Structure 1
Amino acid sequence: MSAVPRSESFNSAAAQYAANRPSYPPALLDAVEELTGSPLAGSRVADVGAGTGIATALLRERGADVVAVEPGGGMAARFRRTLPGVPLVRGDGNALPLADGSRDLITYAQSWHWTDTERSVPEALRVLRPGGALALWWNISALDVPWTAAQDERMARFCGAEPSPATRPDDSSAVRTSGLSGLRVARRQVRWSRTVPLETHLANVGSHSALLVLGRARSRAFLADERAVLREAFPDGSVEEAYLVDLLVATRP
């Protein structure tokens, strides 16, 4: 087992992450605007755990005034190459390097679960203006697709973990585990898909922390086996990845 924490494992694979990870559908940002009751255009947004800037770029395209917050050196370096005109500050959700009441919206794309909610929730409330919102979302592989569920089970066995749940927890459970029980929370799920070459799919799988922490040799062994399985399932070399984006929006009083 690698000594590198899973939350820091992405730094060594930042380029792979940026090139192969899925983005998010326009309907997700539509849902953020609907649930917050505010347009993204002109909103002061902090994208926390911004990584290589996948979500930051989409927020900026919608006209948001975005500052990115990222703790990892490798991810931050890739972000600056990808989005050189977007402000980026080093930090994390447990101690946001942002002023009190300075943001209309704080977003966490694939990154909320890396925080300590006893610290990150008060920090979000401190930085949000009254009536501002915290938006958390995850791209979840659609496990009602048989080949996806089978791959998830193979990966879990290889990594010595339990297979993924089909969805994030229900609303009441999510509120409890996220520490948001004092806020008004709304939830929306958006289904979407993308079709990519087999090698892009494998590189996407290989950029997940569960494999990264195993080291290059072991992850390559798993991906070699997956390549053989998926070549039989997708003889034309194109893979349709189906996702369910799970969105939680918590509004500050």
Structure 2
Amino acid sequence: MTEDRDYRELAVSFGAVAAEYDRGRPGYPDELFDAVERIWGRGLKGARVLDVGAGTGIATRLLAARGAEVVAVEPSDGMAAQFLASSPALPLVRGTGDDLPFHDASADLIGYAQAFHWTRPERSVPEALRVLRPGGALATWWNVHDETVPWVRARAERLAAALPGRYRGYGGISGHTRHFAPAGLVVERTVLRWERQVTVEHVLTDLTSRSYLASLSPEERAPVLAAERAAMAVEFPDGVVAEPFTLDLTVAVKPA
């Protein structure tokens, strides 16, 4: 029960840092959506897409720009309010991946940008299958800090030491995809690499929005962020960071 309570605490922590999330989190390169279309075998233009766990709408806006008829699904009050402020022209429905508020066979693609690990796959996969049309697809993706780069790995080590039992690196998708094949989905995974050029302060804003810090009080976060600011000032004296990511994408297609 304690683990489940901690999980729920982390899951709802984003609402309090929704503005930081919207400002700080990375977007996604065009290559991500190219890969979704390639693996799925059809284009996003004109497709009925649900962006589940949409947060502040970072992926929703990019999907809409690709021509998708996208609807955001978000449970958090704070994140939904920021979504409506940032993307007032895009539709938003309150709900979760474990209980999708949509009719059977009503969507072509269900995407989970940085969000599938906040669902219970034993619930969310059957829900996706119910809502997807034949030939539709479930797509999960994560921007993951690339710890093969020394400064990123050093930061992860500092955070693990500062936040024992709270900071967790990316654990991969394998624990979730075991639910896909028994459901009859045809699964393909790919990993992309990309980077963004941002300031040190931008990186710190992003860190503030991560669940391991967002779930702390501002007073608890402050020394961790101060230590990171000092370390990054040494690493990047000009204040500009080339921040590297791996983008972990899995697309699971429902048979037609």
Same fold per TM (> 0.5)?
yes
User: Which of 30, 36, 39 is residue 35 of structure 1 equivalent to?
Assistant: 39
Letter in 2 for 1:193: E
Aligned residues: 249
Q: Give the C-alpha shift of residue 214 in structure 1.
A: 2.1
User: Which of 38, 52, 55 is residue 56 of structure 2 equivalent to?
Assistant: 52
For the 8 Å contact 1:153–1:163, the answer to whether it is kept is: no
Q: Give the C-alpha shift of residue 175 in structure 1.
A: 2.2
Q: Does 2:133 correspond to 1:120?
A: no
Letter in 2 for 1:212: A
Q: Give the C-alpha shift of residue 156 in structure 1.
A: 1.5
Q: Give the C-alpha shift of residue 153 in structure 1.
A: 1.2
* TM-superposition CA deviations, 1:8-35 (whole Å, max 9, x none): 1000000110011100111000000001
Letter in 2 for 1:164: G
Q: Give the C-alpha shift of residue 163 in structure 1.
A: 5.3
Q: Counterpart of 1:195?
A: 197
Q: Can you give the 5+ residue segments of structure 1 that lack an aligned partner in the other structure?
A: none
Give the direction of change, closer, same or farther, for the CA distance of 1:89–1:174 in structure 2 (3 Å limit): closer
For the 8 Å contact 2:180–2:252, the answer to whether it is kept is: no
User: Which of 1, 10, 15 is residue 14 of structure 2 equivalent to?
Assistant: 10
Separation in 1, partners of 2:19, 2:173: 31
SS at 1:108 equivalent: strand
Which contiguous aligned blocks of 4+ residues in structure 1 show a shift greater than 6 angstroms?
Answer: none
Q: Counterpart of 2:89?
A: 85
Separation in 2, partners of 1:245, 1:208: 17
User: Which of 141, 145, 163 is residue 145 of structure 2 equivalent to?
Assistant: 141
For the 8 Å contact 1:121–1:180, the answer to whether it is kept is: no
Letter in 1 for 2:88: P
User: Which of 148, 162, 169 is residue 164 of structure 1 equivalent to?
Assistant: 169
Give the direction of change, closer, same or farther, for the CA distance of 1:169–1:51 in structure 2 (3 Å limit): closer
TM-score of the pair, normalised by structure 2? 0.93
Letter in 2 for 1:89: V
* TM-superposition CA deviations, 1:115-158 (whole Å, max 9, x none): 01111011000000011000000000001000001101111121
SS at 1:5 equivalent: helix
Give the direction of change, closer, same or farther, for the CA distance of 1:35–1:92 in structure 2 (3 Å limit): same
Separation in 1, partners of 2:133, 2:89: 25
Separation in 1, partners of 2:31, 2:97: 26
SS at 2:105 equivalent: coil
For the 8 Å contact 2:40–2:137, the answer to whether it is kept is: yes
The percentage of counterpart residues that share the same residue type is 50
Q: Give the C-alpha shift of residue 239 in structure 1.
A: 1.1
User: Which of 241, 244, 247 is residue 242 of structure 1 equivalent to?
Assistant: 244
Q: Does 2:228 correspond to 1:226?
A: yes
Q: Give the C-alpha shift of residue 52 in structure 1.
A: 0.1
Give the direction of change, closer, same or farther, for the CA distance of 1:73–1:188 in structure 2 (3 Å limit): same
TM-score of the pair, normalised by structure 1? 0.94
* TM-superposition CA deviations, 1:60-84 (whole Å, max 9, x none): 0000000110000000011111111
Q: Counterpart of 1:21?
A: 25
Q: Counterpart of 2:133?
A: 129
SS at 1:220 equivalent: helix
SS at 1:10 equivalent: helix
Q: Does 2:75 correspond to 1:110?
A: no
Separation in 1, partners of 2:186, 2:195: 30
Q: Does 2:46 correspond to 1:63?
A: no
For the 8 Å contact 1:118–1:179, the answer to whether it is kept is: no
Separation in 2, partners of 1:81, 1:16: 13
Q: Counterpart of 2:104?
A: 100
